[in-house]
Structure 1
């Protein structure tokens, strides 16, 4: 029963992906949108990216994570998970703040694709000019 109690909740964002991370007492299980993390992120680099904040604060097997992600692509979702997890860890224990901040996990990567403008081929690319 106590494993279902959320210790902290963190919302992470990157590009157009938004991740809600629920931090619970446990043994290190990570569920992303109802699947195991290895099943959801088949690329090992994305799994490692998500787990970075836990490695930095030396809490790999102390918490279970339940993550819900919407929007974006795989890399954006992994970055959003990392951001949300970092925020949740800081909310749970304020002493983690300095370590997590020093590694840059609390910084929201605000780079997004620029919108396409009318009368142009892309965001900045113009249609080919023809003199005649």
Structure 2
């Protein structure tokens, strides 16, 4: 791990976001608006999907801070959608940790709400969580 990221690993400067199986550790650096996810360019990691990129930058844009910070993320688990929403929650939480007045702006919009829906477990006798085998009368 490079020294730049090791300097960032302080408990008070981390935003943790979770969604489904995805866990994102988010760091904000003073910069000009770059996104780095797992040491890869954010645009490349999110496959140049504008919806995903807009989700990640939404909390910063709401506070008019999008060109003042670089976002550095370490994310694992889940798929791209879950990871993107985990990053968004991590960014919003970190912004609230940095400046307490940001909370009153981000909370009504829903950026600080953890979406707790996860995959339901498979039950025995069924094909998936709720899908049953076809019923045969004879």
Q: Please, what TM-score do these two structures have when normalized by structure 2?
A: 0.88
- Matched with 2:24 is 19
- Matched with 1:38 is 43
Query: Does the residue aligned with 2:32 lie in a helix, a strand or coil?
Result: coil
Q: Which runs of 5+ in 1 are unaligned?
A: none
- Matched with 1:86 is 92
Distance in 1, matches of 2:19 and 2:89, equals 8
Distance in 1, matches of 2:98 and 2:70, equals 13
Distance in 2, matches of 1:58 and 1:8, equals 20
Query: Does the residue aligned with 2:13 lie in a helix, a strand or coil?
Result: strand
2:100 corresponds to 1:68: no
Task: Count matched residues.
Answer: 130
Distance in 1, matches of 2:46 and 2:77, equals 15
Q: Which runs of 5+ in 2 are unaligned?
A: none
2:138 corresponds to 1:101: no
RMSD: 1.5
Distance in 2, matches of 1:86 and 1:66, equals 14
Give CA deviations for 1:8-47 in whole Å, capped at 9, x if unaligned: 2100011111100011222211100111111111211100
Q: Please, what TM-score do these two structures have when normalized by structure 1?
A: 0.92
Query: Does the residue aligned with 1:94 lie in a helix, a strand or coil?
Result: coil
- CA drift of 1:131 comes to 2.6
